[in-house]
C-alpha cells in the first residue's frame, strides 16, 4: 500500500517569468527528494510549460499555480486531502482572505516575501493560519517538518486502528523528512558571521520519538511481527 500524501499548492504569479525563484525551486526539489536537481532547467520546464502539471517528489504531490482562480480550483480538487499552501506575499494578500472565508480546513499557509513588513497590514488578521518567511531555506525546513508531523499523526491513528503496516509506512516517511530537514538545517544555518538566524536545536525530539528500541517505528514493526507478517523496509 502506498501512503496517502498531503498536497502542496504553490501559488506565485512570478512563475510566468523564466528562471523565477529557480534556486528556490531547485532547493525545494532537493529537500523533498534528497537528491540534487540533475538538469537545472528540468524543474523550470515542468512548471512553466503547464501550470496545471503536477510533479511528485518524496511521495508529496506539488502543484504550481499562477493565479487566484487556479489556486481556488486546485484547493477544490483536493478538498478531501491535507493541503499545504505556499504563496508569495502579493498573492497571499488576495488569496488568504478567500481561504479563510471558504476553506476552513486549510490551516497551513506559508508566505514567502522579501520584505515581510510590506505585508504586516493584512497578515496580522490571519496570524493563526499563516507562517511568514523572508528566507526560503527556513520555509523549506518548516514545511518539511510540518509534513513530517502530519505523517506521524496519521501513523498514530493507524496504530490505534490496529493497522501497524499502514502506521509503519507513515512513520518511515516522517523519518525520511526529519532527517532531510536536519540535514538542510545543518548545512544552511549558522553560517560564519550569521547572527540573526540561529539553527534550531530542539527538532531532534521527533527523531528520538521515531527511532530506537521503543520508538514509533519499532513499535509498528513489533506489532506487524506479532501478527505473523514480515516487516517491509522503507
Q: What is the mean pLDDT of the chain?
A: 77
Strands lying side by side in the sheet with 60-65: 54-57, 60-65, 7-11, 83-88, 108-112, 130-133
Q: How far is residue 106's CA from residue 126's CA, in Å, rounded to a whole number?
A: 12
- Strands annotated E in 18-106: 54-57, 60-65, 83-88
pLDDT tens, residue by residue, 124-140: 999 999 999 887 778 88
pLDDT of residue 184: 73
Among 146, 155, 134, 157, smallest CA distance to 203 is for 146
Query: pLDDT for 162-196, tens place per residue?
Result: 999 999 999 998 998 888 888 777 654 444 444 44
Q: What value does the mean pLDDT take over residues 200-224? A: 87
The domain segmentation of the chain, as residue ranges, is 7-134, 153-226
pLDDT in tens, 93-116: 999 999 999 999 998 999 988 888
What are the tens digits of pLDDT across the range 61-105? 778 888 999 999 999 999 999 999 998 888 999 999 999 999 999
Q: What percent of the chain has pLDDT over 90?
A: 43
Residue 149 has pLDDT above 70, yes or no: yes
pLDDT single digits (tens) 17-54: 444 455 455 555 555 544 444 332 222 333 333 323 33
DSSP structural state of residue 2: P
For domain 7-134, give the CATH number.
Answer: 3.40.50
Interatomic CA distance for residues 21 and 26, integer angstroms: 9
Amino acid at each position: 500500500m502506498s501512503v496517502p500524501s498531503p498536497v502542496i499548492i504553490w501559488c506565485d504569479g512570478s512563475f510566468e517569468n523564466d528562471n523565477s525563484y529557480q534556486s528556490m525551486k531547485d532547493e525545494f526539489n532537493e529537500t523533498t527528494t534528497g537528491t540534487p536537481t540533475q538538469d537545472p532547467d528540468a524543474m523550470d520546464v515542468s512548471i512553466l510549460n503547464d501550470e496545471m502539471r503536477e510533479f511528485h517528489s518524496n511521495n508529496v504531490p506539488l502543484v504550481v499555480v499562477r493565479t487566484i482562480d487556479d489556486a481556488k480550483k486546485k484547493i477544490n480538487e483536493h478538498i478531501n486531502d491535507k493541503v499545504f499552501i505556499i504563496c508569495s506575499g502579493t498573492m497571499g494578500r488576495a488569496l488568504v482572505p478567500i481561504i479563510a472565508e471558504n476553506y476552513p480546513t486549510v490551516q497551513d499557509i506559508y508566505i514567502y516575501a522579501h520584505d515581510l513588513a510590506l505585508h504586516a497590514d493584512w497578515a496580522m488578521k490571519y496570524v493563526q493560519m499563516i507562517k511568514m518567511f523572508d528566507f526560503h531555506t527556513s520555509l523549506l525546513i518548516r514545511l518539511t517538518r510540518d509534513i513530517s508531523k502530519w505523517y506521524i499523526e496519521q501513523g498514530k491513528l493507524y496504530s490505534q486502528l490496529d493497522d501497524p503496516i499502514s502506521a509503519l509506512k507513515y512513520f518511515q516517511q516522517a523519518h525520511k523528512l526529519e532527517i532531510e530537514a536536519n540535514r538542510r538545517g545543518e548545512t544552511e544555518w549558522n553560517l560564519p558571521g550569521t547572527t540573526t538566524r540561529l539553527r534550531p536545536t530542539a527538532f531532534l525530539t521527533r527523531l528520538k520519538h521515531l527511532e530506537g528500541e521503543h520508538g514509533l517505528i519499532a513499535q509498528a514493526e513489533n506489532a506487524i511481527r506479532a501478527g505473523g507478517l514480515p516487516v517491509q523496509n522503507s
